[in-house]
Each structure stands twice: as C-alpha cells, then as structure tokens.
Amino acid sequence: MKATQTANPPSFESVWAILDRVSKDQKEFSKDQKELRKDQKELTKSQKETDRIVKANAYEIGKLSKRMGEVVEFMVAPNLCKKFMEFGFNFSQSNQNTVVSDRANKISFEIDVKLENYSKAMLVEVKTKPTTKDVKDHVKRLEKMRKYADLHGDKRTFLGAVAGAVMTDNVKEYVLKQGFFAIEPSGETFKIIPPNNEPKEW
C-alpha cells in the first residue's frame, strides 16, 4: 500500500506576500475612491457654477425682453386709437398698464393697453415675440374682464388684440383665428390686421 501524499502547507513568507499584496491593493482602491470622490465634488461644483450662469443669463434675457416689450408698448399705444378708426372704432381713451383687482371675487389681471369709449373697450396684449400661450392667456384675460364687468355693472362690449415686435406666421394665424386683431411693425410704423371673421366680442 502506497502512503498518501499530503500537500505541503504554504510557507509563512508566501502567506505574508499574499497579505501584503492584498493590503496594497486595498490602499490603492481606497486612494482611487478618494480621487473619485474628489472628482465628483469638482463636477458638482462645476455643475453648480454652470447652473448659476444659466440662471443669471436667463434673468438678464428676461429683463431685456421686458424692456423691449415696454419699448414696443410705448411706440404702439399713442397711435392705436387713430389706427383703429380705420376699422370703425372710435376710442376716446388709451390707458397703459391697467391693473384690475377684485379680491372678493378672486379676479385679478393686468392690461398692457386698454382703448375704450362709452360702449366698447379693446384689451391689447403687447409682447416682444408673442406665442400661442400668450394668445391663450389673453383669451382668459378677456373672460375675466367680462366677468369683472358683469359684477360691476359694466355693460360694454370687450374685444382683444395682440401686438408683437416679432410675430411668426403661425402665431399671427392663431391670433386672427381667436377673433383678435394682430398688430405688427410695418416700416417706421405698425399695421393692424383684422380677424379672419368678425372680431370676437366678450
């Protein structure tokens, strides 16, 4: 019978070498983790700075857009009464930045330009570059105006118009489709385009 051979146990030196290698690997891994966390912090810091710049630019663009809107409003408002006479409207007053507020009935809105006489009033929304959302908001504004007028005994008829320094064809088409007048630049002045059908009244 042959004697069973037993494998020699690993030497102390070889075990120590393995443990030493594992220890070094762990240190390297820990170092890599620290570098990764540092990179992540730098990336987060960079993202925050980018967000700050984007917000600052958006704020400045918003202010510029508002100023441009005010310029358009200033240029258009004084001559609107005269221009609308071409369409049979004889407005005797033109008011800018009218605030309508009725807290009791939860009605609150602003009107950029309001043309009016004893029987009719035209609410004009002025934007640098109006969008379809601006037009939808103006429809809601006219609805609020009608509700406010009914609550306060104002029986006049209300109409709407949208003015823009830059108005795309699709927005203009949408404005006219809603029964509003479209007001846009024309040479050194501006022109008024009537709705596709009869102007909508509220």
Residues 131-187 have pLDDT tens digits of 999 999 999 999 999 999 999 999 999 999 999 888 999 999 999 999 999 998 877
Residue-level pLDDT at 159: 97
Judge contact between 113 and 77, C-beta under 8 A: yes
More confidently predicted of 128 and 11: 128
Please, which pLDDT band fits residue 61 given cuts at 50, 70 and 90? very low
**Rounded percentage of the chain residues whose pLDDT exceeds 70:** 70
Q: What are the structural domain ranges in the chain?
A: 75-193
> Phi/psi at 68 (nearest 5 deg)?
-65, -40
More confident residue, 194 or 20: 194
* Highest-scoring range by mean pLDDT, 3-7, 18-22, 125-129, 142-146: 142-146
Q: Which residue do the tokens 């008829």 mark?
A: 157
**Per residue in 78-116, pLDDT tens?**
678 888 999 999 998 888 888 999 999 999 999 999 999
Mean pLDDT (whole number) for 62-89: 67
The pair of three-digit structure tokens given for residue 122, joined into one six-digit string: 């035209």
CA-nearest of 127, 112, 197 to 168 is 127
Class of domain 75-193: alpha beta
Q: What is the mean pLDDT of residues 1-24?
A: 55
**What sections of the chain are H helices per DSSP?**
12-84, 132-151, 169-177
Residue labelled with tokens 């064809």: 169
> What gap in Å lies between CA 104 and CA 23, rounded to an integer?
75
